[in-house]
Amino acid sequence: MTRRLNKENIAQFLINVHGLGEMFGRSLFLAFIKPFYLRDILFQMYSIGVKSLSIVILTSTFTGLVLALEFGHEMAVYGAKMYTGSVLSVALVRELGPVIISLVVAGRVGAGITAELGSMAVTEQIDAMRALGTNPYKKLASTRFISLTVMLPILVAIGDMCGMIGGWLVSVTSLGISSDFYWSLTVQYLFFPDLFSGLLKPFIFGMTIATVACYLGFNATGGTRGVGEATTRSVVLSSILIFTLDFLITKLTLGAI
């Protein structure tokens, strides 16, 4: 019995891996095929980007505030408190900004996409689109894939800047570091590999979140309960893949330096 369950779990895992790969390939391929549904893409960009700004700014600013306090306190022990800005900027741009903001977007946007598409799947709206001659992968999946891939790096760039501003507030008010010195070191210790890695990660994370959310939404079954379960799985799987890909990308980019 146990062996049979293990075989079923392995088979289901392989089916899901194949499904995710197929969804990624379809979304990427259809992104370059007409019709482009520009209005839908712009609407999704607004929903994903503009409507996520408040939580991204709040999360990033408080991350910068906390990191500046922690770094400043620990580095003061070694007489290096003045380098708080440089350490903070590298940590935010290379690692914390892309990962934290991507997790926030996965929880807000990814879950929303899965719930929306899952509701359409269980009420047979997606089947109705096929009957009317509309490709649901093009209109529903590809538009969201493009929007997330474009908007997540922009959100991360805004979040990184907000985190640095949060670190600046703490540095000036609590750590006794001058404003000019903070910003000069912040810019001085940011190099092209840091910026490249910091923008590559959200680009890949955006494609990952969109692929997972659309795949689980399209394959949701079992009514409202199935949609809820798919939404939960979407957030969990996206988070796991973000951490896994983060390690792999960091390993590759550091090895290339």
pLDDT in tens, 42-84: 999 999 999 999 999 999 999 999 999 998 888 888 888 888 8
CA angle 164, 171, 161 (to 5 degrees): 5
Give the Å distances, CA to CA, from 93 to 57, 85, 146, 153. Answer: 15, 12, 23, 11
For the chain, the domain total comes to 1
- What is the residue range of 113's domain? 2-256
pLDDT for position 1: 54
pLDDT in tens, 211-244: 999 999 999 988 889 999 999 999 999 999 999 9
Choose among 213, 233, 214, 235: nearest CA to 225.
233
pLDDT for position 256: 56
Give the other-Cβ count within 10 Å of 160's Cβ.
25
pLDDT for position 2: 58
* Rounded-to-5 percentages of helix, strand, coil across the chain: 90, 0, 10
Q: What is the average per-residue pLDDT within 187-198?
A: 88
What pTM did the predictor assign?
Answer: 0.92
Give the Å distances, CA to CA, from 143 to 131, 136, 241. Answer: 20, 10, 21
